[in-house]
Chain A
Amino acid sequence: MIRAWLNQHWYVFTLTIKRLLSTPITNLLSILVMGIAISLPAGIYTLTGNLPTVSGQISISPQISLFLKQRATQDDIDLIRTKLEEDRLVASYQFVSKDQALYQLQLDNGLTEAVHNLAYNPLPDAFVVDTQNVSADIIDQLRTDMQTWPAIEYAQFDSAWAKRLEALTNFGRVLVFVLLTLLSIAIVAVMFNTIRLQILTRQTEIEVSKLIGATDAFIRRPFLYFGALQGFAGGVTAWLIITFALQILNDELRVIAGLYAMNFQLHAIGYEDTISLLLFTTWLGWLGARASVASHLWQIEPR
């Protein structure tokens, strides 16, 4: 029983490949259209995913800097440590003592001379707090809260920058969503029509198959396979387009980054996103075919 089922699927798979190859130009064009359509939202999605890394190679999760008062004692520091441990919004934190900060300052900015001339260390002890990846408003609230903690001179959170980034990513996300929805509908519609034409040209075959005992599933299968396989090929095309486009962009970026003495690169589509992309386009093709088959196949009743 299972063997028969597998035989049927293998047969349909090879048949569909044959059909795809039998009209290569037409199918190649449809696949190309599908690939280009999907590469637009998928490409924007990949770019927005790259945003945080591009804009200054900082960690994605927002940071709050806590500067302690000069007269802060070890007890104060321990108290803040405890409070940070307990806060659920805090992902991780790092204590930077004033001595450490001074040493870092010498190293980083070549101010050795100036630092040596200082009568005392003017730098405060500080905590660098990585928060959970929540909205800028919540982090802003957290910052205000931290400002009231004892021995805190100043709690700093670059909310404007984080908000800007957040707004930009949100915009990207909405754009991706809108484009994806519209273009998905377009792809399903195109597939619907392609399969409708196929059903019309294969009318005799469908009729004969029904007459000699084919189940509806058997008759549907080649069309569903066709839709799914063409969708899959469209996904592969979209992937190639994006990968190629990123390659070109990266070449240009390297030049720009070189001018700014920085080193950043756009990351290609990740492993998981690639699988999602292929599954999604396969599903779209299948969906269009399924809808078409459902609305056209019943009209063919053998006499």
Chain B
Amino acid sequence: MIQLRHVSKRFPDGYMALSNVDLTIDTGEMVFVTGHSGAGKSTLLKLIATIERPTSGSITINGHNIAQIKPAALPFLRRKIGFVFQDHKLLFDRTVFENVLLPLQISGFDRNTATSRIRAALDKVGLLSKENVLPITLSGGEQQRLCIARAVVHRPAILIADEPTGNLDSAYARDIMAMFFSFHQVGVTVLIATHDANLLEDNKHRIIALQQGKLQNDQSMA
């Protein structure tokens, strides 16, 4: 379970990205975060992913207050979370396979276990046939899927995606969303930030709307 209590985030330049947000997300829930750009969607996700730290308030994940955790313990917390970055953050000097290998290397998996997990993850996102190519040769949609494979290969309990369908046409976007639904179905808590209205049409899941750093609307559609 993820709990935010009176969470505010002010950046060093004085910009108030989030102010006084209260939010509870249950384990296994699928949640969309919407709002205009600059509404604080990314900041909210980064706070939960422990990439940013709140200026005030508390964020609790499964009972651990991550606002108070020691910096040395942060990496171990981050390993429990899969993050699909808006700008992908792929390593272009490594093959598709090696990109997905990175989280497993960080956790110290042996080569055999790692290989079978990577193949499973690549298979899931439909990139198994391209495991030896460099990411630069992949299309935008494929790069996005590679990023997803890297985010889920270590089987995190929480999957967070920042604008995963940002630059994709609607057919690709539906593909990507189907993947997130399937992760949700096997019990992963999924958080997706998007401003894509198409994605939210006939959506059965909870939608949190942010406006200028404030929680504007929180509707559970189920």
Contacts and interface: CB of A to CB of B under 8 A. Distances in A.
B109 A7 contact: yes
A7 B109 CA distance: 7
B62 interface: no
Interface in B62-86: 72, 75-79, 81, 83, 85
Nearest to A302: B51
Contacts of B39: none
B83 A8 contact: no
Nearest to B79: A213
Contact of B103 (A4, A204, A213, A216): A213
Contacts of B79: 212-213
B102 A211 contact: no
Contacts of A207: 89
A282 B106 CA distance: 25
Contacts of A204: 89, 91
Contacts, number: 54
B107 interface: yes
Contacts of A4: 107-109
A209 B83 contact: no
Q: Is the interface of A mostly helix, strand, loop or mixed?
A: helix
A214 B51 CA distance: 12
Contacts of A212: 78-79, 83, 102-103, 106, 150
By size class, the interface of chain B is 20 to 34
B98 to A, nearest CB: 10
B169 interface: no
Contacts of B78: 211-213
Interface in B101-134: 102-103, 105-111
A120 interface: no
Contact of B106 (A5, A214, A302): A214
A213 B108 contact: no
Interface in A1-60: 3-5, 7-8, 11
A81 to B, nearest CB: 69
Contacts of A205: 91
B105 A11 contact: yes
Contacts of B72: 215-216
Contacts of B89: 204, 207-208, 211
A280 interface: no
Interface of A: 3-5, 7-8, 11, 204-205, 207-216, 218, 302-303
The 4 closest A-B pairs by CB, nearest first: A4-B108, A213-B79, A213-B78, A215-B75
